[in-house]
Amino acid sequence: MSVEDRVFKALFKESKTELSSKKIELADDVKKLLSYSKGVVIFGKNIDISIKKIEDSLNSLKVDREDLISDLNKVNKGLNLAEKTAKDLGINANQIPNYNDAKSSVSYANKQLAKSKNYN
- pLDDT for 4 equals 67
For residue 73, being part of any structural domain is answered with yes
pTM of this prediction? Answer: 0.67
For residue 35, being part of any structural domain is answered with no
3-state SS class at 17: helix
- pLDDT for 25 equals 72
For residue 86, being part of any structural domain is answered with yes
For residue 33, being part of any structural domain is answered with no
- pLDDT for 21 equals 62
For residue 119, being part of any structural domain is answered with yes
Distance of alpha carbon 66 from alpha carbon 70, whole angstroms: 6
Give the chain's domain count: 1
The one-digit pLDDT tens for each residue of the chain (120 residues) are: 676 666 556 555 555 555 566 666 777 888 888 889 999 999 999 999 999 999 999 999 999 999 999 999 999 999 999 999 999 999 999 999 999 999 999 999 999 999 999 887
The domain in which residue 113 lies consists of 59-120
Distance of alpha carbon 118 from alpha carbon 108, whole angstroms: 17
Helix, strand, coil share (%) of the chain residues, nearest 5: 90, 0, 10
Going by the DSSP 8-state scheme, the letter that residue 120 receives in this structure is -
Q: What element of type H or E holds 69?
A: helix 37-89
